[in-house]
Each structure stands twice: as C-alpha cells, then as structure tokens.
Amino acid sequence: MEAGQIQSQPDTTARHRVGLEEGWWQERVPAWSRVDAATFHDHAWQLRNGVSRPSDLVPLVGDLVPDGFMDDLAAGLRIAPMCIRLTPYVLSLVDWTDPGPDPIRRQFVPLASEIEPDHPRCSLDALEEQRDSVLPGLVHRYPDKVLFLALQVCPVYCRFCTRSYAVGKDTGAVEKCSLGAGRDRWERTFEWIENHRGVEDVVVSGGDTWLLSSAMIRRIGERLLATAHVRRIRFASKGLAVLPQKILSDPEWLDVLAHLASEGRQRGVQVALHTHFNHPREITSVTRRAAQMLFERGIVVRNQSVLQRGVNDEPGCMTRLVRGLSRIQVQPYYVYVHDLVPGVECLRTSLAEALDLERAVRGQTAGFNTPTFVCDTIGGGGKRDAHSFEHYDRRLGIAVFRSPVVDPERPFFHFDPMRTLDRSVQAAWRCDRTQQEMIHSVLDQAGFGWSH
Ligand code: SF4
C-alpha cells in the first residue's frame, strides 16, 4: 500500500470532538486531497502511513519538488547516520515547492548537496553515553539521575539525533548498537534503580516514549512510582511536536499518563513530559489542542530544543518559538547547542552564535519561560550553561568547560563548525600535530595545563 493511502476510517466523531482546522494537508499534499480531518487526526492512521523511503515520497510530493530533489535526497540518505521516517503530519508542514530552505525539511530529510565534512573531532557517540552506561540503555552520569533508554525507535527520525549510534534502523553509514530485548533489560534496569538509593530522577527516553503502548508506560511508571527514593520521572518524547494526534485519539494512553501524574502528585513525585519543538511552525492547531488536553489533565510539559543553523538560529524565530510554547503551557526549558553528530555539520552553529542568540532571547518573555542555552559537552561532561566555559578561543573554535560533579580534573569541550573558522585555522585542524597544539594552547588558557 502506498504512503498516504487511506487504510481505515476511524470514528468520524473524532473530528468534531477535537475541533480542529480543516484541510491544510489537503492543499499541501494533493495526494491527500480526500483525506478528511477524522482520518488525518487519527494517530494510528498517521503511523500506518508514515514515510520511510524516498520511494514513499514520490507519489506524495514528487510533482511538487524541484528537479533533482529526489536524487539529492537519495544521495544524502546513503551517507546519513539516521534513516528517514516522517509522519504524514510532519510531511504536511513542509513547503515541498521550496524544500531547500524549509526549516522542517532541514531537520528530518537529508540532502547530499548541503552536507559538509564532519569536524575532525566528531565521533558517533561524542557525548560518551555508552562509556557512562551502567547497563545497556541505562546511563548514569549525574549522582542523582539516570537516563533509561527504554526503546530504540521513534515516530519521526531527526537528522541531528545525538543518539544516532543506537536509534533507528541501520543506515549505509552507521550500524546501530543494539541495547537488547525489552522485557529482561527493563527488569534489570528497574532492579538497578531500586538498588541505588541515590537515584531520585529518572528520564525515560529512547527512542521516543510516544511509541510505548499504554501498558508499557503504565508498567514503567508504576514500577518507578513504587521505588520510594525516585522523586522525579520524566517521559521524553518528541511526539507532541510530530504526532500530536496521539493525545487526541488515544484516550487510553493519555489516561495512563494522567493517572501516573496524579498518583505521583499524591506521593510527592513529579511525573512530567519532556518534549522537543524546534520551530514555531511546529505549533499548529493540533498541537495547541493536544497541549491543552495535557494541561487540563495536570501534566507538566517542558521543551528541549536543539539549535540548528537554518532552522531556529535567528532571534525572531527563537523568540516566536519560546513565546508560542509559553502560550500553550509548554515550558521552554533548554536550548541545546547542536552536538557533534556525524553527517550534520551543516546544521551546527558556533558557540558564539548560540551566545548571541541567548542574549537576544533573554528578556523577551518571563524568566521562567526563558530557556537555558546549554552545551552537552564532548567527552561526557554533561550539560553546561553555554556561558560557563573556562575559556573560549573564538578564532580556533574551541571552548573548554569544567564539570566538577562529573570529573573536576578533566576538561570537556565544544568545537565550533569548521565553516565558521578562518582558512588558516581550518588547515591547522586538518593536521594532527597542529590540531593537538591548538587544543593544548586553549587548555593552557583554561588552566588545565599540558597533562590533558
Ligand atoms: S525523536 Fe529524539 S531520539 Fe528520536 S531521532 Fe529525534 S532526537 Fe533522536
């Protein structure tokens, strides 16, 4: 069956119940001109009709895109660390008549023509999550927090995923590491958390928890709520931004999340949803409705954006995103300076650009709705406030951070994209000897000395 083809007709009262705008997808994607709102806003239809191959895209947008686009995409996919997967909803947010600069396309669909060589210090797991894993899929970096990677799949795959080493299907460039089968691994994870009384904060991520069934969400939530020392549980999901229909049309799933949040409140434990919007155009009538339903059920929602060149690196855009999220009661919590991820150098900004953007955004709205700009530092130092570097040499594009809780003696880094550096500095980066000399000179300036 072709992507976009209607496979079933869900309850036609759904359209009435959610009260949504009609039809932008019908105009944007002619192949969906007969897909009505009840169908389009059914999460199961969205998942069944996802696009995961270039050949799925051809019947949907092949007549709209510029000449050469499909070849560019196919070539991009051959070298990308992430496969593609788009929900029809995300697909309908892209202007396919001009996909080159489109900020939604840039996040999810790779084009060979825009790919830049990786930074010389780039690696597949630059944040060293695997090194800090106490079990497969259980990262323990901060004393009171663990990151539980419950699954390895998502409804939509982001080109820039920092977990490209494990998330999604294998690509021509990356063979994904397997975290192992679900049930036993989960059981070992729960036991580890139960045996470590210092762990108060559990992030349940992946992959995307939107794809966990209501029974799975219940199992994880109830097991963690039964662990007395766990005080905060966060379900991490990009779903509200890429498949908000889940909230509108999967009442059992929403009920389970609301039940866990309510149970948590009674026990003094916060159960929150952490989501991932990157551009104001991702806030639609559907997300507004879904966010309102979460708000009415008392579920705290926070947002973590990834700063991306050509997507949200302009002050007006980031301000609209922050204000738009605040308006739907999603707290803009973090903006991550883009990590070093293979194949997406074209999306990275320099730290200086991130700092300028932060200055422009701060003050645009209430402080509690102003995101903290953070660097998830290379080498596993964890998230550091982007302003908190020990030393930043803008000419060489090297920032050095300390992370006293992780390791007070070890330096952790951010490296700016090569494109932002002078030609002579770019040349120095390409030579191992001069690369080391540059890093050591910045370490000296940062007070770390040559031993590193
Ligand atoms: S939704 Fe999250 S885990 Fe999934 S591909 Fe995007 S960034 Fe990675």
3-state secondary structure (DSSP) of residue 232: strand
The predicted structure's pLDDT at residue 311: 98
Look up residue 416 and give its two tokens: 């700016």
**Residue 160: C-alpha distances to residues 47, 127, 344 (Å):** 22, 13, 6
- Mean pLDDT score of the chain, rounded to an integer? 93
Pocket test residue of 208, 235, 275, 307 for ligand 1, highest count of atoms within 8 A of CB:
208
pTM: 0.93
Tell me: the pLDDT tens digits for 401-437? 999 999 999 999 999 999 999 999 999 999 999 999 9
Co-location of 394 and 381 in the same domain: no
| For the CA of 168, the nearest atom of ligand 1 | 5
Q: Is residue 124 part of a domain?
A: no
Co-location of 204 and 254 in the same domain: yes
Q: Is residue 183 part of a domain?
A: yes
Binding site membership of 165 for ligand 1 (Cβ less than 6 Å): no
Q: Is residue 5 part of a domain?
A: no
28: CA distance to ligand 1 center in Å?
Answer: 25
Co-location of 180 and 217 in the same domain: yes
Assess whether pLDDT exceeds 90 at residue 92: yes
Tell me: the pLDDT tens digits for 386-402? 999 999 999 999 999 99
The predicted structure's pLDDT at residue 116: 96
Tell me: the pLDDT tens digits for 142-165? 999 999 999 999 999 999 999 999
Number of domains in the chain: 3
| Average pLDDT score over residue span 55-66 | 95
Binding site membership of 129 for ligand 1 (Cβ less than 6 Å): no
pLDDT band at 351 (very low <50, low <70, confident <90, very high): very high
Q: Could you say which of 387, 421, 437 is where a domain stops?
A: 387
Q: Could you say which of 387, 407, 427 is where a domain stops?
A: 387
* Across 1-5, 59-63, 248-252, 283-287, least confident range: 1-5
Co-location of 374 and 397 in the same domain: no
Co-location of 370 and 418 in the same domain: no
Look up residue 43 and give its two tokens: 């999460």
pLDDT band at 22 (very low <50, low <70, confident <90, very high): low
207: left (phi over 0), alpha (psi -120 to 50) or beta: left
The predicted structure's pLDDT at residue 452: 57
Binding site membership of 158 for ligand 1 (Cβ less than 6 Å): yes
Domain CATH number, residue 274: 3.20.20.70
The predicted structure's pLDDT at residue 2: 30
Binding site membership of 411 for ligand 1 (Cβ less than 6 Å): no
Binding site membership of 150 for ligand 1 (Cβ less than 6 Å): no
Binding site membership of 415 for ligand 1 (Cβ less than 6 Å): no
108: CA distance to ligand 1 center in Å?
Answer: 10
pLDDT band at 18 (very low <50, low <70, confident <90, very high): very low
Tell me: the pLDDT tens digits for 238-285? 999 999 999 999 999 999 999 999 999 999 999 999 999 999 999 999
Co-location of 214 and 153 in the same domain: yes
Co-location of 192 and 323 in the same domain: yes
Query: H helices within 387-447, ranges in order?
Result: 423-429, 432-445
The predicted structure's pLDDT at residue 439: 97
Co-location of 62 and 164 in the same domain: no
The predicted structure's pLDDT at residue 13: 37
Binding site membership of 210 for ligand 1 (Cβ less than 6 Å): no
Co-location of 383 and 425 in the same domain: no
Q: Could you say which of 114, 149, 170 is where a domain stops?
A: 114
The predicted structure's pLDDT at residue 3: 32
The predicted structure's pLDDT at residue 159: 96
Q: Is residue 423 part of a domain?
A: yes
Q: Is residue 415 part of a domain?
A: yes
Co-location of 326 and 231 in the same domain: yes
pLDDT band at 180 (very low <50, low <70, confident <90, very high): confident
Q: Is residue 212 part of a domain?
A: yes
Instruction: Give residue 85's domain range.
Output: 13-114
Percent of the chain with pLDDT over 70: 94
446: left (phi over 0), alpha (psi -120 to 50) or beta: alpha
Protein residue whose Cα sits closest to atom 3 of ligand 1? 207
Co-location of 213 and 198 in the same domain: yes
The predicted structure's pLDDT at residue 21: 63
Q: Is residue 89 part of a domain?
A: yes
Co-location of 247 and 374 in the same domain: yes
Q: Is residue 158 part of a domain?
A: yes
Rounded Cα–Cα distance for residues 3 and 46 (Å): 10
Q: Which of 426, 345, 310, 309 is nearest to 115 (CA)?
A: 345
